[in-house]
Amino acid sequence: MRTGLVVFFLSWAVSVQASPLELYGIGLRGVGRGLANTAGARDVFATFYNPAGLIEIDSIEFALVHQINTPWVSIDMERTDPAFAPAFPETYQNTSVALAVPLTGRLAGRASLGALLEVPNGILVRARTLDARRPHWFMYDSYPDIFISQIALALRFFEGFSLAVGVHNNSGFKGQINAQIDMNTNTWSQREIDFEFTGNYGPTVGAKFSYKRLHLGVVYRSPLTMEFATPAELTVNELDAGMRLDLSGAVHPIPMVVASGLEWRAGDWRLELAGHWKQWSSVDDPSVDITIDVQGSDVDSLGLGRALDVPDPQAQPRQSPGFRDTLSLGLGMSYQWSQAVEGHASYSFIPSPIPDQIQHTNLIDHDRHVLGLSVIGHFRDPFGVFMKPVSIGPAVQWNHLAKRQVQKRMGVSDPVGDWAAHGGVLSLNFGIQGAL
C-alpha cells in the first residue's frame, strides 16, 4: 500500500524547471536574433525581450506564432541498468499570442502597454521529476510544458530614454488528501482531495537609451521559485494508527536574469552584441522530498513507528545541485532588403549551469551554440482590415548541444558509470503579425 501511494503522489509532483521563453525564444524577429534582442527589441514581443522597446510601436499590434521544437540527442552509456535507462526529451509545441497598445491622448507617443500569453499545445502544465541518478536533460525534459503570461507598461521620459515595468508569472499547485479506512467493512470511510493551481508573480524592468546610431538596452527579470507540498493523511478508524505522506520541494525555478545589449543602427542594417547573466547558483535541489511518517500509539506499541518512517534525514539529506551562474553572449543582425522583406540572423553561446557529473547524479545538459535565422515578408491586406502590411514568415533556430563526456568517480558502485552525450534541438516557428 505504501508503494502504491508513493507512485500515486509522484504523479502529482510538480517540477518544471523554467520558462520555455528563456530556452527557445519567442516571435519571429526574436527567434532569429537569439540573445541579441535586448537593445533591438521593437515589436510586440518586446514585452519579453525588453519591455522598454514597446515604446517604439506606434499603432496597435498583434501576433500569433506557433513553435515546434524537435530534439535530436543521443547518449552512450558504459552500463545499461534498466532501472536507470536515460530519459529522452520529446518534441514540444506551443502557441504564443501577443498584443501591444500605444496609449492615446496626453500619453500619445509616451506610453505603451504590452501583453503576451504562451500556451503548450494540448496541456497547460506538465509536471515530471526524474531521479537525479537517471541520465536526462534537465532543461529539455519537463520544463518547457507550462503556460506563461506577461504584461508590461513602457514610458518615454524624454527623447532617447524609455523605461518599462512589468510582471511575469510562474505556476504550480498545492493540495491535501485525507483518507480513512473502516476496518470492519474493509472500505474507505473518508475520501477527500483538495488541490489548487497557484500563481507566482515577479517584476521585470527594462530600459533603453539611444544616442544617434547607438542604442543600449538593459533588462532585469526577477527569480521565481515556488515551493509545493502535497500532504496525505491515511488513518484507521478502529485503531490509533495512521500514516502521513509528504511530497514537497522547490518548483518552477526561474533564475534571476540581468541582460544588456548594445545595438548599432545604420540605414537598413542593425547589429547588436548582448550578454545575459543568470543566477543559477540560487536554484535549490530539484529533487522531490518524500517522507513517510507512521504514527499512533497502537503502532508505537509494536515498535514499528520509527522503523517504518522513511527516509532517515542523516542517511539521505537534501543536497545542493551545485548549479553555476552563467554568462551567455549573443551577436545578431537585421537587414531590411526592401519594404517587403526583412531578415535576421544570430549566433549565441550559452554555457551549461550543470557542473561536472562525477558522483551519483547524471544531469546531461550541455553548453549550447545557438544559430538563429528568420525571414519576414510584409504584405498588404487585400481586405483593408489592417492599416499596415501584415507580416508573415518563418524563423528557425538550431541549438547545437556540445558533446559532454563524463568520467565518474564511484567505480563499480555507480549503476550508470561513464557516459557521453551530444545532439541538438531544432526550433521551427511560423506566425503572422499585423497592426490595426
Q: What is the pLDDT of residue 200?
A: 79
Q: By C-alpha distance, which of 22, 107, 26, 112 is closest to 61?
A: 112
DSSP class per residue in 254-288: E--EEEEEEEEEETTEEEEEEEEEE-GGGPPP-SP
- Which residues, listed in sequence order, are joined to residue 95 by a DSSP beta bridge? 66, 119
Is 222's pLDDT higher than 50? yes
Model confidence at 252, pLDDT cuts 50, 70, 90, reads: low
Model confidence at 193, pLDDT cuts 50, 70, 90, reads: confident
Q: What is the pLDDT of residue 74?
A: 94
Q: What is the pLDDT of residue 82?
A: 82
Residue 301 gets the label, from left (phi > 0), alpha (psi -120 to 50) or beta, of alpha
Q: What is the pLDDT of residue 17?
A: 45
- Contacts of residue 159, defined as CB under 8 A and 6 or more positions apart, other chains included, come to none
Count of CB atoms within 10 A of residue 407's CB? 12
In angstroms, the CA 407 to CA 393 distance is 45
Containing 96, the helix (H) or strand (E) segment is strand 92-102
Count of CB atoms within 10 A of residue 60's CB? 17
Structural domains in the chain plus CATH codes: 2-435 (2.40.160.60)
Model confidence at 195, pLDDT cuts 50, 70, 90, reads: confident
Q: What is the pLDDT of residue 12?
A: 34
Model confidence at 6, pLDDT cuts 50, 70, 90, reads: very low
- The rounded mean pLDDT for the chain is 85
